[in-house]
Structures are given as structure tokens and as C-alpha cells.
A = this chain, B = another copy of it.
């Protein structure tokens, strides 16, 4: 992994008065050891296999720290439960989801709809109904974060 990235991480730790611990550095390196998607337990087991064991709790806590400081993104929504909606009573639409508070806004857009079909076709993907989500921050959460 890129040397400067590690330095950038160390800087962030210093600047925010957080301690530069072996566990944090190891987790950071593990996260940046490939560009694949991963989940918390994957990191935990990978490190354990490589005899660089840290506790599960520390993995979870450090990943949160990395997300808060922009080194890692959450690929799916904050809401931990599965959300449903009834299908047949509704028009086709897409969703905006606030990753912080879970707020959902529905919208329809012809351009997105068309382009979405093109992209799916190109990648041998078959879109289902209600199938596109844009994650972001809603107005309120963004203001709260100032």
C-alpha cells in the first residue's frame, strides 16, 4: 500500500488527538491491502490468520473511526434491518436514503431509469422493480453535522 496514505492516517490521528496504536495501524494496513469490498468479520479473520490478531471490538471500533474520517465508506445503508415495501400498488420509483438517519425519499426520473437499463444490459445484470438507491445525507443530518 501507498506510503503516503499511512502517513495521512497518522496525521489524522494526531490532529484529532487520537492515539496511534499498533491495532489501528494494522487494521488500516489490512483495509488497504486490497481494493475489494469487505465486512468487519472478514478483516477480523484475515488478521487472525496472519497472526496479527486484534479483538473484534477493536475492529468494529476502528472501522467506525475510519468511516468517520473518510478512509473507508460504508457501501450499504446504515439501517440494520431489512426494509420492505409493497409492490403492486405503486408506480416504479427509486430511492434516496440518508445514511445517517435512514430517511427515505422516493423519486422517479426518466434519465436515470433509461441509463440504469443500459448499464445493467452492459453488465449482464437484470434490474428488478424499485432497484436503485442513492445514498447520501439528508438536509437535516448535514446541518446537524454543520
CB-contacts of A39-89 with B (<8 A)? 39-41, 63, 67, 70-77, 79-89
Whether A63 pairs with B75 at a CB distance below 8 angstroms is no
Neighbour of A90 across the interface among B35, B39, B63, B127, CB < 8 A: B35
Report if A134-B125 is in contact (Cβ < 8 Å); known contacts: A76-B77, A83-B74: yes
Residues on B with C-beta less than 8 A from A97 are 76
Q: How many residues of A contact B (CB 8 A)?
A: 69
Question: Footprint of B on A, CB under 8 Å?
Answer: 1-2, 5, 8, 31-32, 35-41, 63, 67, 70-77, 79-90, 95-99, 104-105, 107, 109, 111-112, 115-116, 119-120, 122-139, 142
Whether A115 pairs with B109 at a CB distance below 8 angstroms is yes
Whether A134 pairs with B107 at a CB distance below 8 angstroms is no
Best-buried of A67, A81, A109, A119 by chain B (most CB within 10 Å): A119
What is the interface of chain A mostly: helix, strand, loop, or mixed? mixed
Residues on B with C-beta less than 8 A from A73 are 84-85, 87, 128-130
Residues on B with C-beta less than 8 A from A75 are 82-85, 95, 104, 130, 133
A59 vs B138: C-alpha distance in the bound complex, in angstroms? 31
Whether B86 pairs with A31 at a CB distance below 8 angstroms is yes
- Which residue in chain B gives the minimum CB-CB distance to A82? B74
Residues on B with C-beta less than 8 A from A131 are 134-136
